[in-house]
């Protein structure tokens, strides 16, 4: 695994030692960031990498100019792996590492910026996408008009989500969907 582009392009990332997490492949990550950068969604973004695992998606965003990233994972081993990957970059970007369940994140701490770019890559076939989006919205984690990149199993129907689907792409057994989040007025 490596960072595919930006200022840290080519830098190696520590991979998990077992199969408890499923990192997004370099090839798919590169395609995703080409699409996100073409839409101007990464530079200066406040990023949230939910179910972060290795942190590859959030770290890639920082490499491409995101202003800050919040990494969330409920697995302590995964979060520590993400933390080590961030430290290896020797980046001075603002970051937060939170040991939380992204499906039930609670209220966002005041010092963390609401995210306008979110990576939502939950374990497959556990129906966590809708639950996570609901929790993140209710907890104030997302900025109005936030773009959410959902990575899920190919069979998942993202059109059933209550958010605008800008595009979907399939990569093997993985479906990626870019959504614009509908956040109710408070």
Domains and CATH numbers, the chain: 26-180 (3.40.50.150)
Give 52-91 pLDDT, tens digit per residue.
Answer: 999 999 999 999 999 999 999 999 999 999 999 999 999 9
| Contact predicate 2/10, CB 8 Å | yes
DSSP letter at 12 equals B
pLDDT of 185: 66
Query: CA neighbours within 13 Å on the CB side: how many for 5?
Result: 17
pLDDT of 79: 95
CB atoms within 10 A of CB 161: 18
**167 has which bridge partners?**
178
pLDDT of 186: 61
CB atoms within 10 A of CB 122: 18
pTM for this entry: 0.93
Q: In the chain, which residues have pLDDT < 70?
A: 19-20, 185-186
Q: How far apart are the first and last CA of the chain?
A: 41
In terms of phi and psi (left: phi > 0; alpha: psi -120 to 50; beta: otherwise), the region of 97 is beta
pLDDT of 57: 96
68-73 and 115-120: which strand pairing? Answer: unpaired
174-180 and 115-120: which strand pairing? Answer: unpaired
């Amino acid at each position: 695994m490596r960072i595919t582009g930006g200022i840290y392009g080519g830098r190696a990332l520590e991979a998990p030692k077992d199969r408890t997490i499923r990192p997004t492949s370099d090839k798919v990550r590169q395609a995703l960031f080409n699409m996100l950068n073409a839409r101007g969604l990464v530079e200066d973004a406040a990023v949230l990498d939910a179910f972060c695992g290795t942190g590859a998606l959030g770290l890639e965003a920082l490499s491409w100019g995101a202003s800050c990233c919040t990494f969330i994972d409920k697995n302590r081993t995964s979060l520590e792996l993400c933390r080590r990957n961030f430290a290896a970059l020797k980046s001075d970007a603002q970051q937060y590492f939170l040991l939380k369940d992204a499906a039930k994140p609670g209220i966002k701490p005041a010092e963390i910026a609401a995210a306008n770019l979110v990576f939502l890559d939950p374990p497959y076939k556990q129906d966590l996408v809708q639950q996570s989006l609901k929790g993140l919205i209710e907890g104030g984690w997302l900025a109005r008009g936030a773009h959410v990149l959902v990575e899920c199993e190919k069979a998942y129907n993202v059109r059933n989500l209550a958010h605008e689907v800008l595009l979907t792409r399939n990569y093997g057994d993985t479906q990626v969907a870019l959504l614009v989040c509908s956040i109710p007025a408070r």
